[in-house]
Amino acid sequence: MPHDPAAPVSSRLLANLNPEQLAAVTLPPEPGLILAGAGSGKTRVLTTRIAWLLQTGQVSPGGLMAVTFTNKAAKEMLTRLGAMLPFNVRGMWIGTFHGLCNRFLRAHWKQAGLPQSFQILDSGDSLSAVKRVIKGMKLDEERFVPKQVAWFIAGAKEEGKRPKDVDVHDPHSQKLAEIYQAYEDQCQREGVVDFAELMLRSYELMRDDAALRQHYRHRFQHILVDEFQDTNRLQYAWLKMFAGDPAQGDVPCAVFAVGDDDQSIYAFRGARVGNMADFEREFRVARLIKLERNYRSFGNILDSANALISRNTGRLGKNLRTEAGPGEPVRIYEATSDFAEAAWLLEELQQLHRGGMARSECALLYRSNAQSRVIESALFNAGVPYRVYGGLRFFERAEVKHALAYLRLIENPNDDTSFLRVVNFPARGIGTRSVEQLQEVARASGRSLYQGVSGLGGTAGAKVAAFNRLIDGLRASTQGQTLRVIIEQVLAASGLIDFYRTEKEGQDRIENLEELVNAAEAFVTIEGFGKDAVALPVDEMGQTGPTASELLPDAETGEILSPLAAFLTHAALEAGDNQAQAGQDAVQMMTVHAAKGLEFDAVFITGLEEGLFPHENSVTEADGLEEERRLMYVAITRARQRLYISHSQTRMLHGQTRYNVKSRFLDELPEEALKWLTPKRQAFGSGAGFGGGYGAPSRPAWTPAPAPPPSWASPVPAAMARSAAESSGHGLRPKQAVFHNKFGEGVVLALEGKGADARAQVNFGRHGTKWLALSVAKLTPID
DNA sequence: GTGCAGTTTGCCTGC
DNA sequence: CAAACTGCAC
């Protein structure tokens, strides 16, 4: 049944949709799969469908669930819906998988076998919990590397497996299963859950509780899933629990799955593109709708993306087209060093800005967070405002985690992870030895560290008891207080503020702690806590504030989660990406992963080098390489008007200079869409007429795109770099543009002295003119 | 038990 | 290159 054309609201809603979009939006209430290419208006289709379903009265706000993958996407959806709908959208089941699982478990904590105030472990917490388990089992950390074990446990959970379900084929895997079991016991004892547990626990509760299952299946008539290609096995199974599983003979509700197999970039955390095909088959999707018209990018950008992704195998098949013209060519730049690359980025950014482009419309993308540093310092030194997403996030900073640990202990004193973090921070005379004793006592009696104090005598026992009293006192005195007061009191009473005040480098940390108070304040304002909910504030970056919305009343008692509990949840599920630096018109910096779902007028993709992008850990398997290619595809398709791609001959990594060869992905782009800002070079050693390039014996010479050398570490540029340095000593000349780590870009005015005494006078612009000893100062020439 | 200096080790991506 | 870890003097 199409919409009622007489309804004025819905016809306005549906105006300007293309036929495919319209078909998707108004799909009858049955399972549907939408293959939505990058920039094809996917989010618009999703939000419009939700609004259309609601406005035509086909479903009530409570009868609909929409799941996204990232917090960014969830926010985006809520913001857009908030603008389309006349009522507050916060109460609706719209959020990330993990956010919704949390909400579900908060409401049914008792059935799920959790304490009411269970805490959520982020990956760092989870890793230290694993470490404790391994230590407790007296196992060798060499043989059972905590990181790998944590990885193994998360992987098992994502497959829906409990310790008893894990494949055991040798003593090692046997032990792994035992560690997994011990980890689980420990988490249960402490009342904490990790990310994967949120999913698995809610899945199992639904699976095992028929009444609950019936309740939710009756409730949700429509479930919309964004980024379906990124779902893992468990998430798909979870979905079937809520929607009804056709394989079990259920009649499923209207699941509206939107995805793009070409943008599947989360295989490393269990994503299964195959879920799309499985869904189509299992849910007997009658009509698969493809959205292939791109509204975002100009032709050259799109052609580049299409050409690149066409090298992947086993695609569902889709080709983006646009009606915009070719636009600007894709510009490619080769830098001599990562510093020079940063200097070039800066220069191009300034030029775009002078040309009238907003800084916030420029994005700098990189494969891994470590690359942001050099770029950041270049921007910082030039005084260009920027904003970094991801990396060390706000709620993951050490001082913030310390403060949160105190808050978590107030909520749940059995949270041993938090207990260990702060029992002796700031120092209160409880050293390693005392803590070990306490751990032994607690383990022996099967109690938490907090409870274990009763079995610990002597001065150590007295000191721990004093710590417990501190926590208890804080719990009592903060009862019923506002979040701001609670946090301020904790910061003062714990001694955290005093501690950082005496630290040399403590000022920044104190500022972050103050920022934590602000974040809490903002959180309370936005969430509203049952009172009249406040309209979504939108900051200058177009993003809304925190979106916890986990304030569902308890299913049995009707009790509303305390502000503190809600805030702690918010801190665990959202890393607080937009706490700092919000506001001004700033250049956007993030990893390619973080950029998914976003778009910008100008995009710079940096570090297109073998070993980095594609990442060296990925090139050994075909699957890995294809995922890297999809990642590059995602990166390219973020750009609306201008796309720049850069690579560098050398790069600092692990404190050493690495010599890199340009990425194979550059050779996979269509030449006619490109413009090389620096001379295009063949893989070294393959002069004109040599065809196949050097060092690629596995490929015949006639291969159209010669494979890059097997190793990304080319010895040749290294030799070139050496000879350049040897011939001129320092490689500098007057008027040479240089880059300094601290002062940024400068121009050499004069040179004097030789060898170890060589000095250069450099004008750094806003940092003034300085004489630098070349044996000490690192000056990198910029071409 | 604390704090410092020296040494080692690791950086891929994220809810 | 830095964070994280280890060893040592107070």
Q: Is the pLDDT of residue A582 over 70?
A: no
Strand B contact with A611 (CB < 7 A): no
Distance A338 CA to B3 C1' (A): 37
Question: Are residues A285 and A380 both part of a single domain?
Answer: no
Query: Does A480 carry a binding-site annotation?
Result: no
Residue A476 tokens read as 């009592």
Tell me, what CATH number does A406's domain have? 1.10.486.10
Q: Which nucleotide is nearest to A574 (CA to C1')?
A: B15
> Strand B positions with any atom < 7 Å from protein CB?
1-3, 9-15
Given A292, A318, A350, the domain boundary residue is A292
- Strand B, CB < 7 A, residues 249-278 of A: 265-266, 268-269
Question: Are residues A362 and A510 both part of a single domain?
Answer: no
Asked if residue A682 is part of any domain, the answer here is no
Show the domain range for A159.
122-189
Question: Are residues A202 and A166 both part of a single domain?
Answer: no
CB within 8 Å of A15: residues ≥ 6 apart:
none
Asked if residue A281 is part of any domain, the answer here is yes
Asked if residue A702 is part of any domain, the answer here is no
- Which of A582 and A432 is assigned the larger pLDDT? A432
Q: Which nucleotide is nearest to A126 (CA to C1')?
A: B15
Distance A655 CA to C2 C1' (A): 9
pLDDT at site A704: 33
Question: Are residues A623 and A602 both part of a single domain?
Answer: yes
A713 and A654 Cβ atoms separated by less than 8 Å: no
Question: Are residues A623 and A745 both part of a single domain?
Answer: no
Strand B contact with A314 (CB < 7 A): no
Query: Does A37 carry a binding-site annotation?
Result: yes
CB within 8 Å of A225: residues ≥ 6 apart:
A66, A67, A231, A239, A255, A256, A257, A258, A259
CA-CA distances (angstroms) from residue A284 to A214, A280, A281, A317, A679?
Answer: 22, 6, 5, 20, 53
Beta-bridge partner residues of A32: A256
Using the C1' atom of nucleotide B10, identify the protein residue whose alpha carbon is closest. Answer: A654
Question: Are residues A86 and A161 both part of a single domain?
Answer: no
Given A676, A694, A718, the domain boundary residue is A676
Asked if residue A304 is part of any domain, the answer here is no
Helices A146-158 and A195-208 cross at an angle (nearest 10°) of: 30
CB within 8 Å of A405: residues ≥ 6 apart:
A415, A417, A418, A419, A421, A422
pLDDT at site A29: 95
DSSP calls for A225-258: ESSGGG-BHHHHHHHHHHH--GGGT----EEEEE
SS3 category, A401 = helix
pLDDT at site A71: 85
What per-residue string of b and e applies to A236-255 under the rule 16 or more CB within 10 Å gives b?
bbbbbbbbbbeeeeeebbbb
What per-residue string of b and e applies to A578-607 under the rule 16 or more CB within 10 Å gives b?
bbbeeeeebbbbbbbbbbbbbbbebbbbbb
> Strand C positions with any atom < 7 Å from protein CB?
1-2, 4
pLDDT at site A710: 33
pLDDT at site A519: 87
Q: Which nucleotide is nearest to A615 (CA to C1')?
A: B12
Q: Which nucleotide is nearest to A377 (CA to C1')?
A: C1
Q: What is the DSSP letter of A62?
A: G
Tell me, what CATH number does A138's domain have? 1.10.10.160
- Taking residues A501-505, report their average pLDDT: 80
Grade residue A212 by pLDDT with cuts at 50, 70 and 90: very high
Is-cis flag, bond preceding A614, omega within 30?
yes
Residue A387 tokens read as 């904003």
Question: Are residues A485 and A373 both part of a single domain?
Answer: no
Strand B contact with A69 (CB < 7 A): yes
- Which of A533 and A99 is assigned the larger pLDDT? A99
Using the C1' atom of nucleotide B1, identify the protein residue whose alpha carbon is closest. Answer: A431
Strand B contact with A615 (CB < 7 A): yes
Tell me, what CATH number does A668's domain have? 3.40.50.300
Strands A779-781 and A737-740 come out as: antiparallel
Q: Is the pLDDT of residue A289 over 90?
A: yes
Q: Which amino acids of A are annotated catalytic?
A: 42-43, 226-227, 263, 638
Asked if residue A312 is part of any domain, the answer here is no
Grade residue A746 by pLDDT with cuts at 50, 70 and 90: confident
| Strand order through the sheet with A639-648 | A386-388, A587-591, A362-366, A600-605, A639-648, A330-335, A674-676
Question: Are residues A102 and A139 both part of a single domain?
Answer: no
- Taking residues A625-654, report their average pLDDT: 95
CB within 7 A of nucleic chain C: A 373, 398, 652, 654-655, 778
Asked if residue A181 is part of any domain, the answer here is yes
Asked if residue A608 is part of any domain, the answer here is yes
Strand B contact with A370 (CB < 7 A): yes
Question: Are residues A228 and A79 both part of a single domain?
Answer: yes
Query: Does A39 carry a binding-site annotation?
Result: yes
Please give the tally of structural domains in chain A.
5
Query: Does A42 carry a binding-site annotation?
Result: yes
Question: Are residues A512 and A408 both part of a single domain?
Answer: yes
Asked which of A89-93, A155-159, A171-175 is least confident by mean pLDDT, the reply is A89-93
- Taking residues A289-297, report their average pLDDT: 95
Beta strand residue intervals within A286-368, DSSP E: 288-291, 330-335, 362-366
A692 and A741 Cβ atoms separated by less than 8 Å: no
Return mean pLDDT, chain A.
84
- Which of A737 and A81 is assigned the larger pLDDT? A81
Asked if residue A32 is part of any domain, the answer here is yes
Strand B contact with A139 (CB < 7 A): no
Is-cis flag, bond preceding A553, omega within 30?
no
Q: Which nucleotide is nearest to A266 (CA to C1')?
A: B13
pLDDT at site A711: 32
Distance A281 CA to B11 C1' (A): 40
Question: Are residues A71 and A203 both part of a single domain?
Answer: yes
CB within 8 Å of A251: residues ≥ 6 apart:
A244
Question: Are residues A382 and A412 both part of a single domain?
Answer: no
